[in-house]
């Protein structure tokens, strides 16, 4: 097994880890850093449960090799908590809008939502549906997820 040193910043903290060159970023984050919000779902990049932000852009970490993370800034759901453990606005919106059922898909949806929200743009419902379409949820029916993202977007834009 060939291993390589991966140096990256995870949730604002500089890290170094020796990883198998065949390991996915999901495996590195879960096994080496115990970041369990990064879910192992389909492992082929179709369900979105493993989504993380890499240099501000959302990726399916299950199909992103850990060695590619060298020199990158990675954010997971754990990195969204405030200094006293308070939830981010989008996390609170998911709770308020009933957008959480079993919770398995929630971290991936929230990480994609962060990318959407940090763009600073206002999206139509159709655009939001398309941007969130890389996720599978068996419980919620998606409508409450849409409400949570739209509400947070409009609040951030000062429209409500």
Q: Of 76, 97, 122, which one is at a domain's C-terminal end?
A: 76
Q: Which tens digits make up the pLDDT trace of 86-107?
A: 999 999 999 999 999 888 999 9
DSSP label of 32: I
Name 75's bridge partners. Answer: 53
Please give the Cα distance from 75 to 13 (Å, whole number).
10
Answer whether residue 38 is part of any domain.
yes
Sheet holding 51-54, edge to edge: 13-20, 3-10, 73-75, 51-54, 57-60
Between 88 and 138, the more confident residue is 88
Cβ neighbours around 148 below 10 Å, total: 26
pTM, 2 dp: 0.94
Q: Of 18, 52, 76, which one is at a domain's C-terminal end?
A: 76
Please give the Cα distance from 33 to 36 (Å, whole number).
9
Q: Are residues 70 and 7 in the same domain?
A: yes
132, 112 Cβ separation under 8 angstroms? yes
Return the CATH number at 14: 3.10.20.30
């Amino acid at each position: 097994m060939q291993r390589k040193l991966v140096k990256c910043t995870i949730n604002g903290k500089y890290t170094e880890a020796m990883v198998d060159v065949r390991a996915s970023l999901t495996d590195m984050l879960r096994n080496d850093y115990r970041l369990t919000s990064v879910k192992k779902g389909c492992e082929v990049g179709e369900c979105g449960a493993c989504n993380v932000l890499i240099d501000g852009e959302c990726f399916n970490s299950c199909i992103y090799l850990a060695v590619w993370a060298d020199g990158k800034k990675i954010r997971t759901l754990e990195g969204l908590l405030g200094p006293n453990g308070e939830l981010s606005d989008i996390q609170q919106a998911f709770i308020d809008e009933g957008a959480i059922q079993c919770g398995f898909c929630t971290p991936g949806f929230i990480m994609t939502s962060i990318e959407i929200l940090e763009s600073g743009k206002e999206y139509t419902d159709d655009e939001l549906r398309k941007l969130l379409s890389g996720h599978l949820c068996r419980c919620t029916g998606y409508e409450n997820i849409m409400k949570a993202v739209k509400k947070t977007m409009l609040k951030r834009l000062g429209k409500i």
